[in-house]
Structure 1
Amino acid sequence: MELKVKAVAGTLESSDIHIIVEPNNNAGIEINLESAVLAQFGDSIKEVISETLKELGVESVKITANDKGAIDPVIKSRLQTAVLRSAQITKFQWK
């Protein structure tokens, strides 16, 4: 999936994650993660992000994520929303 514009999903509220995705001119996946629980769950959060990008077919993206204690399904749904907004897709067949 090709990303076209910068897009945002999520909030900075407790138990949520604020995600910004944008096309990456350098190619590849760049993840900049901030989280109060980075030491304990940083690798797990990055894994959910990477798996979700793979499922969506995204190979080039710059992600800035600010986690406020979101669980995996919230991380995944926020990322999906941001990616679809960035790709400017209005209709998507969810699996």
Structure 2
Amino acid sequence: MEIKKPAIAGTLESSDCQVTVEAGEGKVDFSLESAVINQYGNQIKKVAYETLENLGIDNVKLTIVDKGALDCTIRARIEAAVYRSVGQIEDLPWGGAIR
């Protein structure tokens, strides 16, 4: 899958995160802003990279502004932003459920 246009998913509310995806420059460019980066930064990065790998994305600029989101929320927000970016609005394979 290839990022076609910039897209955003999520909010800046507590226990959520805002994810932005844009076309990359031949690699995954990851940026994270979080109040809990020292405690959970590595886990957030791991979840982000696993989700991108599951979606077949290896060329993206991914920005996450975290407000205490759980792993499942981070995954869902990344998936939503990617699907919006590619214009996929039907038969969404959330979490790999549809294949």
State the TM-score, normalized to the length of structure 1.
Answer: 0.95
Calculate percent identity across the aligned residue pairs: 47
Aligned pair count reads: 94
| Cα offset, 1:45, TM superposition | 0.1
Amino acid at match of 1:44: Q
Partner of 1:63 in structure 2? Answer: 62
| Residue aligned with 1:66, SS | strand
1:90 and 1:67 map into 2 onto residues whose CA distance is 25
2:52 and 2:62 map into 1 onto residues whose CA distance is 11
| Cα offset, 1:93, TM superposition | 3.3
2:10 and 2:93 map into 1 onto residues whose CA distance is 21
Unaligned runs of 5+ in 2: none
State the TM-score, normalized to the length of structure 2.
Answer: 0.91
| Residue aligned with 1:58, SS | coil
Unaligned runs of 5+ in 1: none
| Cα offset, 1:90, TM superposition | 1.7
Q: Deviations over 1:24-57 (max 9, x none)?
A: 1x21101100000000100000000000000001
CA RMSD of aligned residues (A): 0.8
1:53 and 2:58 are equivalent in the alignment: no
| Cα offset, 1:4, TM superposition | 0.3
